[in-house]
Amino acid sequence: MDLNTQYQTSNASERIGYGLTAQARVKGRFYLDVSALLRRLGYQMNTTVSTTTTEVLNGATYPQVSTATTHEDTRTRLIDIPFLVRYYGVGKHPGSPRWFLEAGGAYRFTNDIRTIIDSYTSSSTTVTCCTTTPTTPKHNSTEGLVVGAGIQFTDEFGIHVVPEVRYTRWVQPTFESLSTNTRLNQVEADISLTF
């Protein structure tokens, strides 16, 4: 008898998140920016176990392969809290856009993990459903380092529109098991509305 196990994971995360941000002037051109951002992470993992046995029929031997497949669908919410120091450049004239650079840290924790696991075999068309015990993450929380840059636009009503790009390097993955690995490098484009 020969056993062969294959694991395959596919991404099921949402690309758009949302949250709140606050900014306060510290001194001169330096500001402190703190946000709370909600993201939805998900993955689907298939585990296929193939069993090969040798069968004898009319004196001849031939291989007989049977498979058992397990499908896991896990979804969770991630709450990211970046805390950054921003340095603003000076606009060419009052009210003109101002560029900024930012750096700092971030904290991430996992919330509301939901998992559904079903299975079936090649010898049966019946799907066995469902195990709903939430998957245990490798790390419920982690820290990260953040750098970014952006531009602040201000309209005639004093509303600030702030597009920016951030890079975060997380210290530990949220999920790490077999073929499932949460990425440690994160690049994101954000837009904020502040007053």
Give me the residue label for tokens 């982690």.
Answer: 142
Nearest alpha-carbon partner for 73 in 55, 33, 46: 46
Q: Is residue 172 part of a domain?
A: yes
136, 180 Cβ separation under 8 angstroms:
no
Residue-range definition of the domain harbouring residue 85: 19-42+74-194
Nearest alpha-carbon partner for 143 in 168, 171, 104, 174: 171
pLDDT at 91 over 70: no
The contacts of residue 93 (CB under 8 Å, 6+ apart) are: none
Q: Is residue 11 part of a domain?
A: no
Q: Is residue 142 part of a domain?
A: yes
Q: DSSP class of residue 183? A: -
CATH number where 82 lies: 2.40.160
Q: Is residue 166 part of a domain?
A: yes
Q: Is residue 87 part of a domain?
A: yes
| Length of the chain in terms of residues written | 195
Q: Which tens digits make up the pLDDT trace of 128-183? A: 777 888 999 999 999 999 999 999 998 878 788 999 999 999 999 999 988 899 99
pTM above 0.75, yes or no: yes
Neighbours of 133 (CB within 10 A): 9
- If one counts the domains in the chain, the total is 1
- pLDDT value at residue 157: 81
